[in-house]
Structures are given as structure tokens and as C-alpha cells.
Amino acid sequence: MDTNVQPLLTTSPSERAASLRALLDEHGPEMDRRREVTPEVVAALVQADLLRVLLPKSLGGQEAHLIEHCKAAEAIGYADASVGWFYNQSNVSAATASAAMDHAAAAAIFNGPHQGLAWGAQYGGSKAIRVEGGYRLTGTWGYGSGSRHTTWIGAHSAVQNPDGTPHIRYGKPDVRTFLFLKAKAKVTDDWDVLGLRGTGSDTYSVEDLFIPDEHAPCRDAMEERRETGPLYTIISNLLYATGFCGVAMGIGRRMLDTYAQLARGKQSRAAITSMANNHAVQKEIAQLEAKLSGARAFVHEAVTAAHAAAAEGRLEVDLRMRLRLATTHAMQESADVAYACYRAAGTTAILASAPFERRFRDSMSVSQHLQGMNAHLEMVGRHIIGADNVVQWV
């Protein structure tokens, strides 16, 4: 396939994502049991061209508006959170890596609609030693979400000079992302977790692996950005946050829709009226709707504003902070909604055959991710107040 030729797409990413709902519902329990996305679902994502939503157009990607990515993550998360997680992880990883790579090198890796990308969190114990023509990489990384379905994986590491001193580039320690064939890594199947089981977020390691310069981009260094579109001036952490909060909102919406459906036909043995006629239930459902809808509106406003500003070359720290606040807030509000719906459903919620249990576990796991941590809110609060601050993750 010529990666410079755009596929003919007649629907938006969010519409294509929503069209997969029945398939994801069908495969959800099996993906949870297998701890990975099923081949049928991976094939459906590829067929819908949903692994190149954020990839540059120069590489055959869609380079879609960030709000469309957020909506697509929400639509997928509504049906299955693990698939939504895989969707976001793969799209953001591929987009941010390729945008900072030499075009020919990127085109060789991202050479079709099936080529996603996965990587784990940065680990302080890793090392990448600068050598002629590239680096010698050693380390272990965890949380490689979606890595069971990709040919290439990546790893983040600080760079050292041959004498062991930190390598400095652009006036600060050089931290790069190293891309290599998954076959060259030792993969450990250790993904035994509460929720998001289907992400298959395994641990992997390499020992003294040579990585050529062209496969070692610095994703968030503007000095190395080959692509100049608005997506690629928004740092990777804010792109991840936008997609992950979309997944969180999708779970919250599914839980609330299911709670409302349950309320239409259930009566608790401890209550004197049906749920539908219970004033407390009526009020709670209304409040949860306002909570989730308000968070979603804030995210969409902040995402749209940040994308527009990036397109005009004026994405200043205030808008970055606002996007950080909106995405973190939405992840937390969505978890609160999911928890309230689970509690309200009574014993129905604990049944594996019912639609609450797995999605509750997924929601609680999403809420523990770095992108939803209170530290982000504290940072934004300091920024608003004007207190001493360390600006990061924006």
C-alpha cells in the first residue's frame, strides 16, 4: 500500500467507532477472560481504519480533529473500555512518534491500516547509551497496552553518554522513545488486574539492543517535529488524556444508561415503591446526567479551543492547563457516576451476567491512571492562583 494515498472514508471516526458497538458487546466477556482484544475485534478496527485516526496525512493517516478522536474513544469505551484503551494508546503513540521521525523511516513502520504502536511507561532503571549511529538500549517496561497486537513496540528512556553521564540536548536531559520490532523483546505475560483486562498490558524487556537514530524520536521536542499540524504541537500527554477521558466518559455513559434502564423495571425488596417511582432514584439519575454531561461539555470546549489555538500557533499555557483540568476532571467525574450506578443497582450489579460488574471494574481501573490523578488538579489550582508551580504533563 502507498502510505501517501488517503483511503476513501465517508464517515467520521466517531461514527465508524459507534458502528462496532454490537461486535464489541458480543466479544467483551471473552476479551476480559483472555486478557486481550480478540482477533475479530482487531480486524474490525483495521477494517474501519481506526488505528490511523491521528496519524499524519503524509503517512496515509487521517490527521483527524482532536475532538473526533475524543468522541471515537468515547464511542468505543461505551461498548468496551479495553478496546477504547487500545484505540487511544495505539493512535497517540503512532502519531507522536511518527511526527518526530524521518519520513522514510516512519513510512516503513506505519505502512498500512494494521500498523498500530504500543509502549509502556517510562522506567528510571532503563538506559540508552549513545553510540555511533544510534543507541544501545537496556531496560524493562510495564503497561504495554495493546502490545499483543502490534509488530512494533516502543520504550522511553533517558540517554547516557558512553562515560555514563546524562546526555544533554536542547538544554535538558535527553529522553527519547525507541522503536523496535516486538520480536526482539522478551515479553512477560503478567497482566493480572482488576479491570481493563482486555488491554493485555504486558511487561517487556531488551538487553543491549541497538536502535538506529532514525528509530529514536524525541516525541515532545518541537525542534524535532517534522509534522506541523495542530495535533503535533499538542504534547503527547494531553493527547493521551483526551482519549483516555473519552474512554472514561464512555463507561460512565454506559453505566448511567444501564441504571436508567434498570430503574424502569425493578423494585427493591427493601423499598415500598418501584425504582421508577422512587423520588430519590429520580433525583439521582437527573444529577448523574448533569454531572456526566457537564464534564463532557467542558472537555469538548477545552479540546476544541486547544486544537484551534494549536492550528494558529498560539497554544499558550493557559489553554494547556484548561485542557489538563477538563480531562482530569472528566475522568474523575465519570468514575463517580459509574460508582453511583453500581451502588444503585443493588445485587444485580454483582452478577457477571449483568452489564454492571465488568464495566465497574474497568471504570475503577481507569480512575487510577496517571492522567486522572489529583496532582494535576493541584497544579492547575496553583496556576490559577499564581502560586509557585512546577508545570508538567501539559
- The residue ranges of every structural domain in the chain are 13-109, 118-221, 234-385
| CATH code given to domain 118-221 | 2.40.110.10
Say whether pLDDT at 233 is over 70. Answer: yes
In order of 22, 35, 64, the CA distances from 44 in angstroms are 12, 18, 19
Q: Rounded mean pLDDT of 283-288?
A: 98
pLDDT, tens digit, 9 for 90 and up, residues 81-115: 999 999 999 999 999 999 999 999 999 999 988 87
pLDDT, tens digit, 9 for 90 and up, residues 295-309: 999 999 999 999 999
pTM: 0.95
Separation of CA 329 from chain center: 16
The answer to whether the CB of 335 falls within 8 A of the CB of 366 is yes
Separation of CA 340 from chain center: 24
Q: Rounded mean pLDDT of 235-244?
A: 97
Q: What is the pLDDT of residue 4?
A: 45
Q: What is the pLDDT of residue 327?
A: 98
Say whether pLDDT at 322 is over 90. Answer: yes
26: CB partners within 8 A, 6+ apart: none
pLDDT, tens digit, 9 for 90 and up, residues 352-389: 988 999 999 999 999 999 999 999 999 999 999 999 99
Q: Are strands 118-119 and 152-160 parallel, antiparallel or unpaired?
A: parallel
The answer to whether the CB of 310 falls within 8 A of the CB of 323 is no
Q: What is the pLDDT of residue 123?
A: 75
Nearest by Cα to 230 from 145, 154, 157, 323: 323
Q: What is the pLDDT of residue 1?
A: 37
Say whether pLDDT at 328 is over 80. Answer: yes
pLDDT, tens digit, 9 for 90 and up, residues 111-162: 988 878 999 887 778 999 999 999 999 999 999 999 999 999 999 999 999 9
**Coil, strand, or helix at residue 118?**
strand
Mean pLDDT in the chain? Answer: 94
Match 453500581 to its residue by C-alpha cell.
Answer: 342
The answer to whether the CB of 178 falls within 8 A of the CB of 137 is yes
Q: What is the pLDDT of residue 272?
A: 67
Q: Rounded mean pLDDT of 214-221?
A: 95
The yes or no reply on domain 234-385 and CATH 3.40.50.300 is: no
**Coil, strand, or helix at residue 141?**
strand
pLDDT, tens digit, 9 for 90 and up, residues 182-205: 999 999 999 999 999 999 999 999
Q: Rounded mean pLDDT of 14-35?
A: 98
How large a percentage of the chain has pLDDT more than 70?
96
The DSSP call for residue 7 is P
Instruction: Enumerate long-range contacts of 106-110, CB under 8 Å, 24 or more apart.
Output: 106/59, 107/3, 107/4, 107/59, 109/152, 109/179, 109/215, 110/3, 110/52, 110/55, 110/59, 110/60, 110/61
Angle at 386 between CA 381 and CA 389, to 5 degrees: 70
Fold (CATH) for 13-109: Butyryl-Coa Dehydrogenase, subunit A; domain 1 (1.10.540)
Report the 10 Å Cβ neighbour count for 280.
11
The answer to which of 14-23, 71-80, 122-131 has the lowest mean pLDDT is: 122-131
